[in-house]
Structure 1
C-alpha cells in the first residue's frame, strides 16, 4: 500500500473518488435516519414525547464533539486509519441503536454514532490532499456531493425501510454497508501520513486559532453557516408546506426530497469552476441564488405549483453547494499541514450556527406559514450576500 507524504503530488482515480463520495454519504446519513422516525421509535423504547427530541439533539451533539475532538487529528496521524476507526465506531453505534431496549441505551448509542460519523470530515480534506492541484476543486466537489446526497436521501430511505422492515433494520443495514465500505477503503484508499510535529492538546488548541489567523476561514465559515442555516430551515419547513398546502403523503414528501437532492449534482461543476479560479463570482452566484430561490419558492407555493416548488428545492440545494465547494477549495489552499484543523474549525462554526435553521424553520412556519419561512430564508441569504459585497475584500478570490 502506497503511503503519501503530507503534500503528495499524486492523483486519485475515479473509482477511489467515487468510493470516498459514497463513504461520506453513507456515514453522514446516520445523523438523519431517526429524525423522521421519532414518532415510531419513541413509543417502542419507552421514550416520552417530551424526551423524543433528544434523539436528534444528542446525535447532533455527538457529531459536534467529534468535529472538535477527532477531525483535528488528521494533521497528526495517518488519515486512512482515522477514517477506518471512525467507521468502526459508527458501526458499533448503529448496532447499539438497533439493539437498544430503553431510552438511556438508545441515546448513548446515538451519541456514539454521531461521534463516529465525523470520519466523513476527515475524508474530505484527505481527498483534497491526494488530488492533483489542478483537479482539487472537482475532487472535493465530487466527494462533497456524496455527503449531500447522504443528507438528502437519509430521510426518504428511512421512511421506506421503516415501513417495510421496521426501524431497527435501518441501522443494521447501515452498519453492514459501512463495514463493506470500510473494507473497500482499506483496500483502495491511499494512506497519508502527515508530519505530526505537535501533540494532540496543541492540535486542539490551535484548531480555533485558525479562525483568528486566517481571515478567509472566518469569512467562509460565516457564509456557509448562513447557507447551512437556510438549508436546514428549508428542509424543516418545506415538508410542513407539502403536507398542509399540497396534501402530500409521507411517501410523496420522500419523492420530493429525492428530487431536491438533484442540487447535489452541481458539485463537480462547481469544483471545475473553482479550479478555474472563479471562486469569487461562483460564491456570489450561490449567495444571491439562495435568496432568489426562497423568494421564488414563496411565489410557487402561493401559486399552487408543486413542480415549481420542486425546481426551487433543487436551486436552493445547488446554491448551498456553490458556496460550500468554493469555500472548501479556498480554505484547503491555505496551509496543507493544517487542513484537518482548518476544516474542523470551519465545519464546527457551520454546524453550530447552521443547526439553528431547523428551529427558525419550525418557528416561522407556525407563526406565519410557508411565506414567513421563505422570507426568513431569503433574509438569511440576503444578509450573507450583503456581507460578501461589503466585507469580503478579496477573501473569496482564488490565489
Structure 2
C-alpha cells in the first residue's frame, strides 16, 4: 500500500479490514465537521456581511445560497473521483484548496470577490463528502450504519456549531476573522490528514468524463437513491429557510439580539447532533421507515411551532431543535440506505444524494430573504412546513412497505 505514509504503519490493519479505530473515527468526524461548517458560518452573519459590502437586504440570503451552490458543484465534480482515484490524494488536494479560498474570502474587497470566493469555498468544502464514503467502505456491513452515524455526528456537529460559533466570534474579530480562523483550523487538519489518513484503492476504471456522465443515469436508474435524495432535498430546504431566517428576525425588533444573543439561540440546534448515531442504529436494525416518518414529522411540527416565533422565543427554540433533529436523522437514514446499493460506486451515490439535497438547501436559502421581505416570518414558516409535509405525504402513500 504505497500511498499510506510510513509515519502511519499502524493504520494498515484498519484499512485492510479491521475497520475504523477510535483515533481515525475522531479524525474523520472532526475533519468532516470543520469542512462542512464553512457552509454555515455566514448564515447568522448575512446582515453584517451585506452591510460591509453594500448588499441589499432582500438579497442577503444569497450569500448562503452561493456557498451551497458551490458545494453542490463540488459534490458533482469532485466527490465521484473517490471511485477512480485513491481518495486520500483527492481529499488532501481539496483541503489545501479550501484553505487558500478561505483566506481569500477573509480578504475579499467587494461583492464580486465575495461571491466568487464563497463559491470556491463551497466547492472545496465537498472534501467532507469524500471522507464519509471512505469511512463507510472501511466498515463491516453490519456496522455500516453506526460507523456512518458516528462520522456524520462530527459533520453535523460542525454544521450545528458553525452558527453559534460564527455569531460569537464575529462580535470580537468580525466576519472576516471568522473565515480566517476557519482557514487555520482546516490547515491544521490538513497536516494531520497527511500523516494519518488511510488510503483505499478503488476498483472502477472509468474515465473522468464517463464518471461524471454516469451521475445522471444513477439518479434515473436507482429509484431508492432518487427518492431518498428528493426527500432530503425537501427537508434541507426547510432547514435552510429556518436557519437563514431565524437570525434575521432575532436581530430585528422586538428581540433586538446582538450577535452573541443569536449565538446562544443557535446553540439550541446543537442537540440535533444526537439524532445521527441514533438514526444510524435504527436503520441497522431495520427501522428505516419508522425513523423516516419520525424525522419528517419532527420538521413539520417544528415549523408549526415556529409560526409563534415572532412573539415567543421558547417556541422558536423548540422549533429549531425539532427541525435540526428531523433533518439530521433523515440524512443519516438516507445515507445508510444508499450506501447499501453498490459498494463500487459509493462515492457517486453519495455525490448524487448530497448534490440533490443541497440543491434543495440552496432553494430554501435563496427564498428566505425575499419571502421574509414580502410575507414576513409567517410566510417563511408556512413555506418551511410545506416542504417536509409534501415529502412525508409522498413517503406514506408511495412507499407502502416495511423497513
Q: What TM-score results when the alignment is normalised by the length of structure 2? A: 0.88
Return the match for 1:263 from 250, 259, 272.
272
Residue 174 (structure 1) aligns with: 182
2:292 is the alignment partner of 1:280: no
Partner SS for 2:307: helix
Name whichever of 330-339 and 352-361 sits farther off.
Answer: 352-361
* Residue 172 (structure 1) shift: 2.4
CA distance 1:110–1:248, change in 2 (3 Å): closer
2:364 is the alignment partner of 1:357: yes
Residue 375 (structure 1) aligns with: 382
Name whichever of 33-42 and 339-348 sits farther off.
Answer: 33-42
Q: Could you tell me how far apart the structure 2 residues matched to 1:360 and 1:98 are?
A: 26
Q: Could you tell me how far apart the structure 1 residues matched to 2:241 and 2:114 are?
A: 27
Residue 301 (structure 2) aligns with: 292
Structure 2 portions without partners, runs of 5+: none
Q: Check the 8 A contact 1:4/1:192 in 2, yes or no.
A: no
Residue 146 (structure 2) aligns with: 138
Residue-by-residue CA offset, 1:265-286 (whole Å, 9 max, x unaligned): 2211111111111111111111
Return the match for 1:387 from 361, 377, 394.
394
Q: Check the 8 A contact 2:84/2:206 in 1, yes or no.
A: yes
Structure 1 portions without partners, runs of 5+: none
Q: Could you tell me how far apart the structure 2 residues matched to 1:99 and 1:356 are?
A: 27
Q: Could you tell me how far apart the structure 2 residues matched to 1:361 and 1:171 are?
A: 23
Q: Could you tell me how far apart the structure 2 residues matched to 1:372 and 1:107 are?
A: 27
* Residue 102 (structure 1) shift: 4.3
* Residue 308 (structure 1) shift: 3.8
Q: Check the 8 A contact 1:4/1:191 in 2, yes or no.
A: no
Q: Check the 8 A contact 1:73/1:340 in 2, yes or no.
A: yes
Q: Check the 8 A contact 2:69/2:359 in 1, yes or no.
A: no
Q: Could you tell me how far apart the structure 1 residues matched to 2:25 and 2:178 are?
A: 26
* Residue 149 (structure 1) shift: 2.4
Name whichever of 100-109 and 77-86 sits farther off.
Answer: 100-109
Residue-by-residue CA offset, 1:12-39 (whole Å, 9 max, x unaligned): 1222212211111111222233444455
Return the match for 2:328 from 321, 326, 329.
321
Residue-by-residue CA offset, 1:60-98 (whole Å, 9 max, x unaligned): 332222111101111111112211111001011112223
* Residue 203 (structure 1) shift: 0.5
Residue-by-residue CA offset, 1:148-203 (whole Å, 9 max, x unaligned): 22223223322322321233332222112111112222233321110131111111
* Residue 384 (structure 1) shift: 0.7
Residue 68 (structure 1) aligns with: 76
Q: Could you tell me how far apart the structure 1 residues matched to 2:45 and 2:249 are?
A: 19
Q: Could you tell me how far apart the structure 2 residues matched to 1:355 and 1:244 are?
A: 27
* Residue 248 (structure 1) shift: 3.1
Q: Could you tell me how far apart the structure 2 residues matched to 1:358 and 1:364 are?
A: 10
* Residue 134 (structure 1) shift: 1.9
Q: Could you tell me how far apart the structure 2 residues matched to 1:34 and 1:308 are?
A: 24
